[in-house]
Amino acid sequence: MRLFGGMVVAISSLILVADLSLSQTLSSADADQIPRLTAEVLQLESGEMDEDAIRRLIQIDAELGYPVGESVAPLQRQILMLLAGTNEAAAMEHIRHVFEAQPERRSSAAAALARATTERPDDLQDWRYMVRSLTVVDGDDALAVMTALRRFQQRATRGVWVRQVILIGLKLPEEQRATAEQLLQHWTSKPRAGRRVTPWSLNEYQSWFAEEFPNEPPAVLPVDAPDRRWTTATVTQALEQQSTVSVDIATGAAVYEKAGCQKCHRRGDIGQTFGPDLTSLGWRRTRQEIVQAILFPSHDLNEEYPSVTVVTKDGQTLSGLMSAGPEEMLVLVTPQAERHQIARADVEEIVMRTVSNMPEGTLEPLSETELQSLFAFLTSTAGVPQPHGDALP
Determine the Cα–Cα distance for residues 248 and 246; give it in Å rounded to an integer.
7
- For the residues 4-16, what does the mean pLDDT come to? 34
pLDDT band at 246 (very low <50, low <70, confident <90, very high): low
Peptide bond into 326 cis (omega under 30): no
Question: What is the pLDDT, as a whole number, of residue 20?
Answer: 33
Alpha carbons within 13 angstroms on the beta-carbon side of residue 296 total 15
Q: What is the pLDDT of residues 275-311, one digit of tens each?
A: 888 999 999 999 999 999 999 999 998 888 888 999 9
- Is residue 10's pLDDT more than 70? no
Confidence grade of residue 245 (pLDDT, cut at 50, 70, 90): low
pLDDT value for 29:
64
pLDDT value of residue 390:
46
Count the Cβ atoms, other than its own, within 10 Å of residue 47.
10
Mean pLDDT of 1-7: 37
The yes-or-no verdict on residue 383 having pLDDT over 50 is: yes
Distance in angstroms (rounded) separating the CA atoms of residues 302 and 275: 10
What was the pLDDT predicted at 384? 85
Q: Which residues of 188-222 are buried (b: 16+ CB within 10 A; e: fewer)?
A: beeeeeeeeeeebebeebbebbeeebeebbebeee
pLDDT for the residue 69: 77
Q: What is the pLDDT of residue 53?
A: 98
Cis bond upstream, residue 67 (ω within 30): yes
Mean pLDDT of 250-259: 92
Other Cβ atoms within 10 Å of 42 Cβ, number: 12
Residue 253: pLDDT band (50, 70, 90) is very high
Share of the chain above pLDDT 90, in %: 66
Phi/psi of residue 17, each to 5°? -125, 125
pLDDT interval class at 75 (50, 70, 90): very high
Average pLDDT, integer, range 151-174: 96
27-57 per-position pLDDT tens digit: 456 777 889 999 999 999 999 999 999 999 9
Residue 271 has pLDDT above 80, yes or no: yes
pLDDT tens-digit readout, 328-361: 888 898 888 888 999 999 999 999 888 888 889 9
Q: Answer whether 114's CB lies under 8 Å from 85's CB.
A: no
Average pLDDT estimate for 92-119: 96
Per-residue model confidence (pLDDT) at position 322: 85
Residue 4 has pLDDT above 50, yes or no: no
Query: Per-residue pLDDT averaged across 119-135, rounded?
Result: 93
| Cut 0.75: pTM above it | yes
Residue 391 has pLDDT above 70, yes or no: no
Do 68 and 104 contact (CB within 8 A), yes or no?
A: yes
